[in-house]
Copies of this chain bind each other. A is one copy, B any other.
């Protein structure tokens, strides 16, 4: 891709734009293995920042990291009936190892409930061992037919939390707590507004009692599930015999939760904030937050400008800013701008001879707008600019989402919306599986969530969008990734 070519505009072909934006930013690449991608350094650096933010919040809430085997005996998967039904069609299976056929095939983990709860059964004896709060950072394999970089790949990276509690209320509190943590991460780090709520029975995790999810609206008005938190009830505890001695000497099964967020969030970040030039990183998740580009013609100018640029880079680094000084000599400033814009760097500082004379740098925001920052207050000025960019990205995404959401839709409106512009459609729902399926068939839209209270419409819809019977819950429909 050369500077002249540019990206396919989003309005013309969002899907083509997405792939080009990911490739231009060098976030990822295709591999020789069907459906598997390579996460390139620029993409992996975003993942490391995501991991750091999530891991800190997990640890602050008492979770500890561990690591469980990649391979799961096929028989384990079969112990929970719904679970195997959900995952069996998409697993990769090791049948040969060390030069021999295996007696029992090993499944490459599509999720780790079964192998982890087998360990929990050994570790948990008494109520004193509860709650047990574990998280794992790992790779996961699900054999997907249609794959997209980051959004849907055969192998992906994620974290999966797995916890055990003495009672239902404890597990419920945990599942809701982790949903809140994910929401906080989405909003505060990824600048990505989300709706939280419960999934319908038809959309919940295979083996769960209840699934909570957070849903974001991409720029093409399709929904993306950004994370899930499952209350698993005692289903897996019964399947794996995870019992504990209660405080009064009885014996009971534990209550489990599991919750996960994946490298898919990198794709969500691209599709939430990107523009026709390329990706835009929210400052908190930007591997490079600030790039400094010196501008000069003569050698004398280069020396003067270079000294100021150097000093600015050192000062910002000392202030904890992730800064790069782009001093490449064989490259013109315009080409550098283009490259860093494509990589989504939120703030560019240009330092030319006039700026040096005025004791300032010129700050260009990736989101638009240029203004000088005095060298005398550089760190503070940059910090403020980054905060403003972070906030502006969130606000713009929220406004876009609200502009593309409709409340209390009728059947005709729902059909027209999903045939046309897409977006989030809020409406009444009778709760019947038949209606859910009919809507999905007619519109290709699914119930994304039964929204939590803070996202519900001020007046609860009276009737089901589809059948007209009394609504038992509000629902949010959208076509989804």
Inter-chain contact B38/A66, CB cutoff 8 Å: yes
Measured CA separation A114–B98 after assembly (Å) = 19
A473 within 8 Å of B (CB atoms): no
Inter-chain contact B68/A31, CB cutoff 8 Å: yes
Measured CA separation A143–B99 after assembly (Å) = 9
Known: A97-B143, A155-B69. A41 touches B134 (CB 8 A): yes
Inter-chain contact A32/B73, CB cutoff 8 Å: yes
Known: A92-B106, A94-B92, A97-B143. A32 touches B118 (CB 8 A): yes
Measured CA separation A122–B38 after assembly (Å) = 12
| B-contact bits for A83-114, CB 8 A (1 contact / 0 none) | 00000111111111111000001101000000
Known: A44-B65, A66-B39. A96 touches B97 (CB 8 A): no
Residues of B within 8 A of A118 (CB): 31-32
A141 within 8 Å of B (CB atoms): yes
Known: A89-B98, A94-B108, A97-B91. A70 touches B155 (CB 8 A): yes
- A74 CB to closest chain B CB (Å) equals 11
Measured CA separation A96–B92 after assembly (Å) = 6
| B-contact bits for A71-83, CB 8 A (1 contact / 0 none) | 1110010000000
Inter-chain contact A97/B106, CB cutoff 8 Å: no
A115 within 8 Å of B (CB atoms): yes
Residues of B within 8 A of A94 (CB): 92-95, 108
Inter-chain contact A33/B106, CB cutoff 8 Å: yes
A304 within 8 Å of B (CB atoms): no
A145 within 8 Å of B (CB atoms): yes
Inter-chain contact A65/B45, CB cutoff 8 Å: yes
Inter-chain contact B41/A143, CB cutoff 8 Å: no
Residues of B within 8 A of A38 (CB): 66-69, 119
A410 within 8 Å of B (CB atoms): no
Known: A93-B95, A134-B41. A76 touches B106 (CB 8 A): no
| B-contact bits for A450-476, CB 8 A (1 contact / 0 none) | 000000000000000000000000000
A447 within 8 Å of B (CB atoms): no
A-B complex: 7 closest residue pairs judged by Cβ atoms? A98-B143, A41-B64, A36-B69, A92-B97, A39-B67, A93-B96, A97-B143
A-B CB contact pairs (8 Å), 28 listed: A29-B122, A31-B68, A31-B118, A31-B119, A32-B73, A32-B118, A33-B71, A33-B73, A36-B69, A36-B70, A38-B66, A38-B67, A38-B119, A41-B65, A43-B66, A44-B65, A70-B141, A89-B98, A91-B97, A92-B96, A92-B98, A93-B95, A93-B96, A94-B94, A94-B108, A95-B95, A96-B105, A97-B143
A contact residues vs B (CB 8 Å cutoff): 29, 31-33, 36-41, 43-45, 47-48, 64-73, 76, 88-99, 105-106, 108, 115, 118-119, 122-123, 134, 138-139, 141, 143, 145, 155, 157
